[in-house]
Amino acid sequence: MEKINEIIKQIQAKDITDVVIAILIILVFFIISSWLPKIIMRMFKIKEKNKKKLKENDMYKGLKWIFLCVGFYLASLVLNLPENVFSICVKIIRVVVILSIAKILIGMISPESRLMKKVQENDKFQENKSALKVGYKILKVIIYVIAGFLIIADFGYDLNGIITGLGLGSVVIGLAAQELVSNLLSGVAISSEKPFKIGDWVTIGTVSGTVVDIKFRSIKVKTADNTTVTILNTKVLNESIINYATIDSRRFEVILRLPLNTSSYQIEDLMNSLKNFLHSIKEADQDTIQVFIDGIQTDAIVVKTIVYVNIDATYFLDFKTETNLSIMKVLESKGIKLANPSTDVHLCQ
């Protein structure tokens, strides 16, 4: 507290003109920092009409802070601060500048940047958008790590000593980060192999649903009951994956168990009606329609219905419901009920 009071007294002791000039310099650069970054971004053909999105842009933020740092640096020169105070101010400004440059670099390689949009337009990268996102996140971490090392070096710390020290702690850090790295590498593998994409209906192990998000650490699947399940990428690669979106046609099968007292005429009439109904389904592959007696058992006559339909996995459940209801209506119109399962009764003496 005494040091702060000392600094304030030293500043107050300066010529009032110097203080006013310093404040004016800061105000000028504060104003400049709002519109000059926009001009620079336009020079790089980066245009953003939405003001809110512009302020959130990493490149804009970095440029703005650099101009503010220049203003504070010039103001500190005008105030002619004591050497120890000036040295602290310069170090703080350097830290901010390093972080601002890191922000600018991140903004230049972000998926929304003009450079990356051009890369994404390339035919070679059209199918690897998720891989580009993972690559962006990795580069973002690397840029911040390098910025961190530069800041540490600027404060006079020996990086060799820090790196040597990290050698001892790397085992602990490595064990702690093993799962994260494993999921990261698995995310890269998923992005390159592309076993599924967002919107595909998949089964991963025991989980079935629509893929709603693919990240470098995990994926999210929305199941039929509208529950979102997060699966780690390492588990995804260790489980069997069924992607129903890659299947051209889907098998629809119904097994009807009819009572033994159903006449052959009724069964034949029912089978013809079922065939006609299946042929009326526009999504049905007409050559795959099969309606046949699969067997005569002790408690029922088994009629099997099979058809392959060209329909998206998302709507397949609705299709099954509607088709099953239609088959039930055909049975009702024929006055045929399904057989009850037989029960064996054992009498004990």
pLDDT at 333 over 70: yes
Using DSSP, state whether 107 is helix, strand or coil: helix
Q: Which of 58, 214, 201 is nearest to 128 (CA)?
A: 214
- Residue identified by tokens 């005429």 is 265
Residue 243's Cβ-count burial label (10 Å; 0-12, 13-18, 19+) is middle
| pLDDT (mean) for 14-35 | 81
325 — pLDDT class (breaks 50, 70, 90): very high
pLDDT at 5: 60
Using DSSP, state whether 15 is helix, strand or coil: coil
Domain with CATH 2.30.30.60 in the chain: 201-246
Q: What is the pLDDT of residues 64-76, one digit of tens each?
A: 888 888 888 888 8
Which residue did the predictor score with more confidence, 83 or 190?
A: 83
Which residue did the predictor score with more confidence, 301 or 158?
A: 301
Largest CA distance in the chain: 119
What is the H or E stretch that residue 344 is in?
Answer: none
User: Rounded to an integer, what distance in angstroms lies between the CA atom of residue 129 and that of residue 116?
Assistant: 10
> Are 223 and 304 spatial neighbours (Cβ–Cβ below 8 Å)?
no
pLDDT at 273: 93
Q: What is the pLDDT of residues 85-119, one digit of tens each?
A: 778 888 888 888 888 888 888 877 776 666 566 65
pLDDT at 171: 47
- Which range has the worst mean pLDDT, 178-192, 215-229, 320-334? 178-192
Q: What's 127's DSSP letter? A: T
User: Rounded to an integer, what distance in angstroms lies between the CA atom of residue 324 and that of residue 275?
Assistant: 14
pLDDT at 347 over 50: no
Which residues, 6+ apart, have CB-to-CB distance to 306 below 8 Å?
A: 251, 252, 253, 288, 289, 290, 291
Strand order in the sheet with 290-296: 250-258, 301-309, 290-296
Q: Which fold has domain 250-334?
A: Alpha-Beta Plaits (3.30.70)
Domain with CATH 3.30.70.100 in the chain: 250-334
Q: What is the pLDDT of residues 280-294, one digit of tens each?
A: 998 888 888 999 999
> Are 209 and 196 spatial neighbours (Cβ–Cβ below 8 Å)?
no
Q: Specify which residues 256 forms β-bridges with.
A: 303
Q: Specify which residues 251 forms β-bridges with.
A: 308
Strands 241-243 and 201-204: antiparallel
| pLDDT (mean) for 32-45 | 75
pLDDT at 163: 54
In order of 32, 39, 66, 178, the CA distances from 27 in angstroms are 9, 19, 14, 49
Q: Which fold has domain 201-246?
A: SH3 type barrels. (2.30.30)
User: Rounded to an integer, what distance in angstroms lies between the CA atom of residue 272 and that of residue 282?
Assistant: 18
The one-letter amino acid code at 285 reads D
| pLDDT (mean) for 226-234 | 87
pLDDT at 239 over 80: yes
pLDDT at 57: 75
